[in-house]
């Protein structure tokens, strides 16, 4: 939550911590007039790491939010509103984020529907918050990717929404719209809303002429076409953005997928959005030949990948890299050039400690090169504190400075990957669009030549995979999961076969203690899935062929 709260602050939004019951956890009146500092935000979520995120609406955040708490309210709103303002899925409905206008205050039961407005003096719970029933708030259209529409203009064009300022709609001056200083913006929003509603350009032009004459002072009619052209261009760009999102989704799939998978992943909820996506996918199939139908099931596709590269087998090294691990992991897997090692786990279980250890143990892996260590959260003081926990007489801070480059970086990690060196990223995250994390990992993998990347991702304790889902493991040759003093090799693509009995290390686990917050002390031996299965069969007098552990004799 902390990372998302800091991201909202960067967007100039006023954030506060709220509880699972949606009530503020602090006195929050002052944050209607000023933004919390980064130190305040970090202190709030350090003291209460499970706190949800509240965004203060009104002038401080330039934000007004329409809260639809039922499907009837959502349908009534979307029947008329065709814009693309940011929107979030809530446990009970939808939040639509609009630009704040002077005078918009909190209003309930707009249009006698389950539809409220949060303006000056209000706040809303924001993604990725989770309520007391475990239901999530999720972005449908991210606030960092979409422009805010004008709530008052939308209300003026579609009066069924209700009067958000308790003023009559027959008096344009009372709304302060179409007046000097904002005529350009209001006319553009009117044109944009009508174009998104599939109105013809001719119809939009005539409506804009009427609105232009109603402006105070009147807007030059000869400039109406410029507003219309801008609205059409924006709609065209939005179409291209949806196509780009679908192309990114397709690039992450390594097998067949369904239309419903695309709808759910990209959070396409309305009939209009789904129809638009189906048109894009149909063109990618029939015209662009990027995808093809798969099997006999309706709406099932796979990507066509015609790109390839040939391997330089003659010049390839004959042996794997001498990559060192704690916990005797090296005895069970090989690491080669261009490999990705993925570490996932819940908070405060040792992910970062393992990342630091892999950096320390492999400083000589690529002679003459410093290890490139990208850190998402920690600053220089926190990094120094972590390094001071190592025995200074053996591993002083100076050693780290001479061998490791610590780089603060919270996004675009692939940009500075060393293709031929050892890279560590602690950690990769995107709390607003987590489905993109596998794509970020693929970008890093694509940058590697002879080098290796150690990547850390967060994990929800109630889910089997790290943030971003199962696809985060696709590029990894070794995936390690850390949870509650237990380390599991969830994926080993290059195992080492040990005689006389061999069990594939996928799923093998070993318990450990973390001494002095850096040293991994094994507790017991590695336990293999095949080994446990064999013991269970032997209890019943069944013999298993260890060369083919899936076959029962």
* CATH number assigned to the domain comprising residue 365: 3.40.50.300
8 Å CB contact between 431 and 4:
yes
Q: Are residues 370 and 471 in the same domain?
A: yes
Mean pLDDT of 358-366: 95
Selected residue with higher pLDDT from 468 and 478: 478
Q: Are residues 396 and 472 in the same domain?
A: yes
Q: Bridge partners of 123? A: 56
- Residues 513-541: pLDDT tens digits? 999 889 999 999 999 987 666 666 566 56
Whether 316 is in a domain gets the answer: no
pLDDT of 477 = 94
pLDDT range class, residue 551, cuts 50, 70, 90: very low
Q: Are residues 342 and 271 in the same domain?
A: no
Q: What's the length of the chain?
A: 553
Q: Are residues 531 and 449 in the same domain?
A: yes
Whether 183 is in a domain gets the answer: no
Which CATH number belongs to the domain containing residue 34 in this structure? Answer: 3.30.2250
Whether 76 is in a domain gets the answer: yes
DSSP code of 448? -
Mean pLDDT of 166-177: 46
pLDDT of 357 = 95
8 Å CB contact between 110 and 122:
no
Whether 262 is in a domain gets the answer: yes
Q: Are residues 275 and 397 in the same domain?
A: no
User: Is residue 425 scored above 80 in pLDDT?
Assistant: yes
Mean pLDDT of 331-355: 93
Domain boundary among 303, 320, 337: 303
Q: Are residues 286 and 366 in the same domain?
A: no
Domain boundary among 144, 162, 177: 177
Backbone angles phi, psi at 146, to 5 degrees: -120, 150
User: Is residue 326 scored above 70 in pLDDT?
Assistant: yes
User: Is residue 175 scored above 60 in pLDDT?
Assistant: no
Q: Are residues 361 and 288 in the same domain?
A: no
Whether 24 is in a domain gets the answer: yes
User: Is residue 153 scored above 60 in pLDDT?
Assistant: no
Q: Are residues 282 and 341 in the same domain?
A: no
pLDDT range class, residue 499, cuts 50, 70, 90: low
Q: Are residues 288 and 370 in the same domain?
A: no
pLDDT of 319 = 85
Nearest CA to 80 out of 172, 157, 195, 175 is that of 157
Whether 314 is in a domain gets the answer: no
Domain boundary among 116, 148, 177: 177
pLDDT of 164 = 44
Distances from the Cα of 140 to the Cα of 89, 263, 273, 454, 506, angstroms: 6, 11, 11, 31, 36
Q: Are residues 257 and 369 in the same domain?
A: no
Selected residue with higher pLDDT from 135 and 422: 422
Whether 152 is in a domain gets the answer: yes
pLDDT of 358 = 97
Whether 245 is in a domain gets the answer: no
**pTM score > 0.75 for this model?**
no
Q: Are residues 518 and 377 in the same domain?
A: yes
Number of structural domains in the chain = 3
Q: Range with the lowest mean pLDDT among 8-12, 37-41, 317-321, 401-405?
A: 317-321
Q: Are residues 291 and 338 in the same domain?
A: no
- Residues 234-245: pLDDT tens digits? 776 665 577 888
DSSP code of 179? B
Mean pLDDT of 32-54: 92
8 Å CB contact between 109 and 159:
no
pLDDT range class, residue 63, cuts 50, 70, 90: very high
Domain of residue 287 covers 252-303
């Amino acid at each position: 939550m902390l990372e998302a709260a800091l991201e909202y602050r960067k967007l100039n939004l006023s954030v506060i911590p709220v509880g699972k019951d949606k009530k503020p956890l602090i006195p929050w009146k002052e944050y209607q007039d000023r933004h919390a500092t980064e130190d305040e935000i970090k202190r709030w979520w350090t003291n209460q790491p499970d706190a949800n995120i509240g965004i203060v609406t009104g002038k401080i955040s330039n934000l007004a939010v329409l809260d639809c708490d039922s499907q009837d309210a959502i349908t009534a709103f979307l029947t008329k509103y065709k814009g693309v303002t940011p929107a979030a899925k809530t446990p009970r409905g939808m939040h639509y984020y609009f630009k704040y206008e002077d005078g918009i205050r909190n209003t309930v039961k707009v249009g006698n529907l389950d539809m409220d407005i949060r303006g000056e003096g209000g706040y809303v719970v924001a993604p990725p918050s989770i309520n007391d029933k475990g239901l999530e708030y999720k972005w449908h259209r991210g606030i960092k990717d979409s422009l805010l529409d004008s709530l008052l203009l939308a209300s003026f064009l579609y009066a069924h929404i209700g009067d958000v300022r308790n003023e009559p709609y027959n008096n344009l001056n009372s709304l302060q719209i179409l007046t000097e200083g904002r005529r350009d913006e209001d006319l553009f929003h009117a044109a944009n809303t009508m174009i998104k509603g599939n109105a013809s350009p001719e119809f939009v032009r005539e409506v804009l002429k009427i609105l232009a004459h109603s402006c105070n002072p009147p807007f030059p009619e000869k400039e109406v076409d410029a507003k219309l052209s801008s609205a059409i261009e924006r709609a065209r760009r939005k179409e291209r953005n949806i196509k780009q999102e679908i192309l990114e989704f397709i690039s992450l799939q390594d097998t067949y997928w369904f239309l419903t998978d695309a709808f759910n992943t990209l959070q396409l909820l309305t009939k209009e959005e789904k129809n638009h996506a189906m048109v894009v996918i149909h063109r990618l199939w029939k015209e662009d030949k990027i995808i093809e139908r798969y099997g006999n099931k309706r709406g099932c596709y796979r990507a066509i990948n015609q790109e390839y590269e040939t391997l330089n087998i003659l010049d390839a090294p004959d042996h794997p890299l001498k990559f060192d691990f704690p916990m005797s992991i090296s005895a069970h897997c090989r690491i080669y050039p261009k490999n990705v090692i993925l570490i996932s786990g819940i908070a405060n279980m040792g992910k970062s400690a393992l990342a630091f250890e892999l950096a320390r143990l492999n400083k000589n892996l690529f002679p003459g090169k410093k290890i490139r260590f990208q850190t998402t959260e920690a600053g220089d003081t926190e990094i120094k504190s972590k390094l001071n926990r190592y025995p200074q007489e053996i591993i002083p801070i100076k050693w780290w400075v001479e061998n490791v480059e610590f780089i603060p970086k919270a996004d675009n990690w692939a940009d500075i990957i060393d293709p031929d060196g050892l890279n560590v990223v602690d950690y990769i995250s995107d709390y607003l669009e987590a489905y993109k994390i596998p794509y970020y990992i693929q970008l890093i993998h694509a940058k590697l030549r002879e080098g290796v990347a150690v990547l850390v991702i967060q994990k929800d304790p109630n889910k089997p995979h790290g943030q971003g889902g199962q696809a985060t493991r696709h590029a990894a040759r070794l995936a390690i999961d850390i949870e509650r003093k237990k380390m599991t090799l969830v994926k080993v693509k290059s195992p080492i076969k040990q005689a006389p009995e061999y069990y594939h290390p996928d799923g093998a686990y070993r318990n450990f203690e973390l001494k002095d917050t850096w040293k991994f002390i094994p507790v017991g031996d590695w336990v293999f899935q095949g080994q446990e299965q064999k013991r269970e069969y032997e209890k019943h007098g069944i013999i298993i062929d260890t060369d083919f552990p899936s076959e029962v004799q």
